[in-house]
């Protein structure tokens, strides 16, 4: 299942795409080449019908999502490096459901409903470490494997003798260092749900990465408004004009895979089609001043004689991979070292692919249809053979703190401030939509349409 042939889906002829260089053209010039099993495209024309604006703003629609979609999907709940040692645990909350993921003595992971079986207190409100899971109310205590260990005043609970009092488990499974939970016993296995990600990410070995920077903020907009701002690159033309000299925004390639996975592949080191051809020096100069998705790298870089800007940037990143002792350094293509391979996993998780420090997004309604908790992580690869360091602590920004106030990620924060300057006003506008319609670009916003079509599949049936 995990290696299904990408040609299962046939590209739709007749859907216009940006004139000029395509991603396929750019990849064809790269050496070494991206392996075909990763570079293959997959697209379907999903149509042009408008999306109803009330899907973002209506309380009833939100409650339908809560009842029919969220309990049935695989949700990314943690990364390995957040809880590496036995007894380490992570609390993951979403829409009133809470789960505790606990590292076991054999380093496997169990996920439990985060509810005391006595009178229902949440067992843990924060991630951390525990030798056992003791409820803070009256002290019912479970071992980290979920077995009931201690009941204070046991004489008063003799009626529980013989009753299964182990903590109920939630389905959990992992891929690429990520741990997912799913409350639905009938949901497909994680590997099928994620297809074709496991095959794509095989070379990139994200298990060797740690969360180097982790920033979160509450955004006053519906969770889909926020997530969809990261599903297309073409808003760069007005929202992020400073990246256009080194970003293929309008010629980003959008791929639609199964119900749950799609990809935007945005080439870097090439000028935006909006700007036309630029001198290679201009591309490098703009990149040096404005890129920097790796918090540890210096963004200063100058053109290597005989190489294009893209080749220079690829070579620089290949050298960084080599310095980590990574055995894939010689095989890594410029695209895998440089471009934004922005995958989306339905409904609220977006891991970037490739070899370099990768960005990861997660969005949760927090707590209702008009507010979102957005988290951004920057992953950094551990040197080959060295242990993967523990995750950095999450920085929760206050409502008035800009993303750019985080120094650890250089200029990346300023890009998110540009995005967030739109999103509350997108939500405000949608609330007062005159025609209850949102129009989407047929190609560049195909991932948004794909997302809504999958959402509709969940909403159509009761759990």
Task: Give min distance, CB of 301 to Fe ion, in A.
Answer: 23
Q: Give, rounded to a whole angstrom, the gap between the first and last alpha carbons of the chain.
A: 25
**Prior bond to 32 cis, omega within 30?**
yes
> Rule CB under 6 A: is residue 137 a binding residue for ligand FES?
yes
Query: What backbone phi and psi angles, to 5 degrees, belong to 437?
Result: -130, 145
Give the position of tokens 């159509």: 460
Q: Which does 227 bind (CB under 5 to 8 A by kind): Fe ion, ligand FES, none?
A: none
Spell 243-261 as b/e; 16+ CB within 10 A means b: bbbbbbbbbbbbbbbbbbb
**In this structure, are strands 253-256 and 209-219 parallel, antiparallel, or unpaired?**
unpaired
Those residues with Cβ within 8 angstroms of residue 219's Cβ, 6 or more apart along the chain or in another chain: 226, 371, 372, 373, 374, 420, 423, 424
Q: Report in angstroms how near the CB of residue 231 gets to Fe ion at its nearest.
A: 10
Give the range of 116-124, 268-276, 306-314, 442-450 binding ligand FES by CB under 6 A.
116-124
Coil, strand or helix at 47: coil
- Region binding ligand FES by CB under 6 A among candidate stretches 137-145, 291-299, 301-309, 314-322: 137-145
Q: Which of 145, 419, 429, 433 binds Fe ion (CB under 5 A)?
A: 419
Closest separation in Å from C-beta 104 to ligand FES: 22
Question: Which of Fe ion, ligand FES, none binds 129 (CB below 5-8 Å, type-dependent)?
Answer: none
Q: Closer CB to Fe ion, residue 12 or residue 397?
A: 397
CA distance 385 to 380: 14
Q: Give me the least distance between CB of 226 and Fe ion, in Å please.
A: 11
Q: Does 139 bind ligand FES (CB under 6 A)?
A: yes
* 122 lies in the site for ligand FES, by CB under 6 A: no
Query: Tokens 């940006």 map to which residue?
Result: 18
Tell whether residue 436 is a contact of Fe ion (CB under 5 A): no
Which stretches does DSSP call E strand in 144-256?
148-150, 171-175, 178-182, 209-219, 253-256
Query: Which listed option, ligand FES, Fe ion, none, makes contact with residue 437 (CB within 5 to 8 Å by class)?
Result: none
- Interface stretch with ligand FES, choices 134-142, 172-180, 324-332, 408-416 (CB under 6 A): 134-142
**Min. distance of Cβ 137 from ligand FES in angstroms?**
4
Which CB, 72 or 138, lies closer to ligand FES? 138
Task: Please report how close the Cβ of residue 136 comes to ligand FES at its closest, in angstroms.
Answer: 8
- Residue 422 CB, shortest distance to Fe ion, in Å, is 8
Among 29, 107, 119, 154, contact with ligand FES (rule: CB under 6 A): 119
Q: Work out which of 4, 33, 72, 138 binds ligand FES, going by CB under 6 A.
A: 138
Q: Judged by CB under 5 A, how many residues of this single chain contact Fe ion? A: 1
What number of other Cβ atoms are within 10 A of residue 343's Cβ? Answer: 23
Write down the least CB distance from residue 289 to Fe ion, Å.
18
Residue 441 CB partners (closer than 8 Å, separation 6+): 232, 234
Residue 419 interacting partner from Fe ion, ligand FES, none (CB closer than 5 to 8 Å by kind): Fe ion
Q: Which of 56, 92, 140, 343 binds ligand FES (CB under 6 A)?
A: 140
Provide, rounded to whole angstroms, the least separation between the CB of residue 119 and ligand FES: 4
Cβ-contact 54, 96 below 8 angstroms? no
For 304-330, b/e burial (b = at least 16 CB within 10 A) is eeeebbbbbbbbbbbebbeebebeebe
Other CB atoms within a 10 A radius of the CB of residue 356 amount to 22
Query: Is the CB of 139 or the CB of 463 nearer to ligand FES?
Result: 139
Q: Is 121 near ligand FES (CB under 6 A)? A: yes
Cβ-contact 203, 35 below 8 angstroms: yes
Distance (Å, rounded) from C-alpha 228 to C-alpha 226?
Answer: 6
Site for ligand FES in 195-234 (CB under 6 A): none
CA distance 447 to 452: 9
- Using CB under 5 A as the binding rule, whether residue 67 contacts Fe ion is answered as no
Cα(111)–Cα(194) distance, rounded to whole angstroms? 20
Q: Are 286 and 309 in contact (CB under 8 A)?
A: no
Total residues binding ligand FES (CB under 6 A): 9
Q: Residue 44 or residue 122: which is nearer to ligand FES going by CB?
A: 122
Q: Using the rule CB under 6 A, is 425 a contact of ligand FES?
A: no
115 Cβ partners below 8 Å, 6+ apart? 98, 121, 122, 123
* Nearer CB in complex with ligand FES: 29/150: 150
The residues in 383-402 that bind ligand FES, with binding defined as CB under 6 A, are none
Binding mask 300-339 for Fe ion (x = CB under 5 A): ----------------------------------------
Binding of ligand FES by 135 (CB under 6 A): yes
Site of interaction with Fe ion (CB under 5 A): 419
Site of interaction with ligand FES (CB under 6 A): 116, 118-119, 121, 135, 137-140
């Amino acid at each position: 299942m995990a290696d299904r042939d990408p040609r299962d889906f046939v590209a739709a002829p007749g859907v216009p795409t940006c004139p000029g260089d395509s991603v396929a053209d750019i990849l064809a010039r790269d050496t070494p080449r991206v392996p075909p099993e990763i570079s293959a495209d997959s697209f379907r024309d999903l149509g042009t019908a408008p999306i109803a604006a009330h899907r973002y703003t209506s309380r009833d629609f939100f409650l339908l999502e809560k009842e029919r979609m969220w309990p049935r999907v695989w949700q990314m709940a943690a990364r390995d490096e957040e809880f590496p040692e036995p007894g380490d645990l992570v609390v993951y909350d979403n829409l009133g459901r809470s789960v505790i993921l606990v590292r076991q003595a054999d380093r496997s992971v169990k996920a439990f409903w985060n509810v005391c079986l006595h009178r229902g207190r949440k067992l843990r409100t924060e991630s951390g470490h525990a030798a056992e899971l003791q409820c803070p109310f009256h002290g019912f205590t479970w071992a980290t494997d979920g077995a009931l260990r201690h009941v204070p005043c046991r004489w008063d609970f003799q009626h529980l003798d013989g009753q299964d009092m182990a903590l109920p488990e939630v389905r959990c499974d992992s891929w690429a260092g990520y741990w997912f939970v799913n409350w639905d016993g009938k949901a497909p296995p994680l590997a099928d749900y994620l297809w074709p990600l496991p095959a794509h990410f095989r070379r990139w070995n994200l298990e060797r990465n740690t969360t180097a920077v982790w920033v979160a903020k509450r955004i006053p907009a519906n969770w889909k408004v926020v997530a969809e701002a990261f599903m297309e690159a073409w808003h760069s033309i007005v929202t992020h004009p400073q990246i256009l000299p080194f970003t293929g925004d309008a010629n980003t390639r959008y791929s639609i895979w199964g119900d749950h996975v799609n990809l935007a592949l945005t080439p870097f080191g090439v000028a935006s089609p909006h700007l036309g051809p630029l001198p290679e020096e201009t591309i490098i100069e703009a990149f040096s001043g404005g890129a920097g998705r790796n918090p540890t790298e210096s963004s200063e870089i100058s053109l290597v004689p005989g190489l294009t800007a893209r080749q220079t940037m690829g070579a620089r990143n290949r050298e960084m991979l080599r310095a980590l002792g990574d055995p894939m350094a010689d095989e890594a293509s410029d695209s895998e070292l440089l471009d934004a391979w922005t995958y989306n996993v339905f409904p609220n998780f977006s891991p970037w692919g490739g070899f370099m420090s990768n960005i990861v997004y997660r969005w949760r309604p927090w707590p209702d249809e008009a507010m979102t908790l957005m988290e951004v992580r920057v992953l950094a690869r551990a040197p080959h053979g060295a242990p993967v360091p523990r995750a950095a602590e999450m920085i929760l920004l206050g409502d008035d703190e800009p993303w750019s106030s985080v120094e650890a990620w250089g200029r990346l924060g300023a890009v998110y401030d540009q995005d967030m300057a739109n999103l509350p006003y997108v939500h405000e506008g949608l609330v007062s939509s005159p025609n209850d319609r949102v129009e989407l670009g047929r190609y560049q916003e195909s991932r948004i349409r794909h997302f809504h079509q999958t959402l509709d599949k969940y909403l159509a049936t009761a759990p």
